């Protein structure tokens, strides 16, 4: 593990293979609605962390395909002091336990705790690992021998798609008809390569593509 006041977890591999990069919140697990602020946020306890339906099976199928599955996620709540690193790691461990029930595996995790307005000084900076910058993906590719041009970046926010584009990946936007994000995408002139509603649909596309003759 490396804490660049982001976190990296991974193994160094020699083979240049593709990977499936996943944002975490809204892709793997459901967001938590904060009624006071009227916004959806990252879970801050294991009780709040809930896998989205079908995610475990989808990741297991990607594992069987032989592609590395790598989480790349901004987690500024750590830098803002809303959740401790210790509790954050408990949530990570809980995620692995839930996925293991479907025999699914995350091969590596890369997190950015930075934010320009972080309340914890060590995390208050503009860094290359915070999406929409591609730093997390580039670091994972270096660590794990990943070919970015053979890889997919799957996320539910414009920052995910921008990071994937900058890294040279195929980009998949998970959109459940959140019209505000459509407006943002259009304004930023961001065009994801593919759009699906949920991770299981995206995984099925990736698996089918791998089976097609080249």
Which sequence positions are flagged as catalytic? Answer: 23, 25
- The H or E element containing residue 153 is strand 152-155
Can you tell me the distance from the alpha carbon of 6 to that of 2, in angstroms, rounded to the nearest whole number?
A: 8
Q: What's the pTM? A: 0.89
pLDDT at residue 154 greater than cutoff 70: yes
pLDDT digits (tens, 9 = 90+) for 62-112: 999 999 999 999 999 999 999 999 999 999 999 999 999 999 999 999 999
Write down the mean pLDDT value for the chain: 90
Mean pLDDT (whole number) for 149-163: 96
Query: What angle do helix axes 158-167 and 179-188 make, rounded to 10 degrees?
Result: 40
For residue 190, what pLDDT is reported? 82
Domain range enclosing 175: 2-211
Here the CATH number for the domain that contains residue 70 is 3.40.50.1000
Token code pair at residue 66: 């032989």
Domain count across the chain: 1
Please tell me what DSSP assigns to residue 82.
Answer: S
């Amino acid at each position: 593990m490396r804490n660049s006041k982001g976190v990296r977890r991974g193994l160094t591999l020699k083979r240049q293979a593709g990977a499936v990069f996943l944002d975490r919140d809204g892709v793997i697990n459901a967001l938590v609605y904060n009624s006071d602020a009227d916004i959806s946020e990252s879970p801050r306890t294991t009780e709040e962390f809930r896998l989205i339906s079908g995610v475990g099976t989808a990741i297991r199928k990607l594992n069987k395909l032989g592609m590395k599955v790598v989480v790349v996620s901004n987690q500024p709540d750590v830098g803002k002091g809303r959740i401790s690193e210790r509790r954050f790691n408990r949530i990570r461990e809980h995620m692995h336990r839930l996925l293991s029930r479907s025999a699914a595996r995350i091969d590596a995790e890369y997190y950015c705790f930075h934010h320009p307005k972080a309340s914890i000084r060590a995390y208050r900076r503009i860094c290359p690992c915070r999406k929409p910058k591609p730093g997390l993906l580039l670091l994972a590719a270096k660590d794990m021998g990943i070919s970015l041009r053979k890889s997919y970046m799957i996320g539910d926010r414009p920052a995910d798609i921008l990071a994937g584009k900058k890294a040279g990946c195929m980009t998949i936007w998970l959109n459940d008809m959140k019209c505000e994000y459509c407006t943002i995408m259009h304004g930023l002139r961001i065009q994801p390569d593919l759009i699906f509603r949920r991770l299981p649909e995206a995984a099925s596309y990736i698996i089918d593509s791998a089976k097609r003759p080249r």
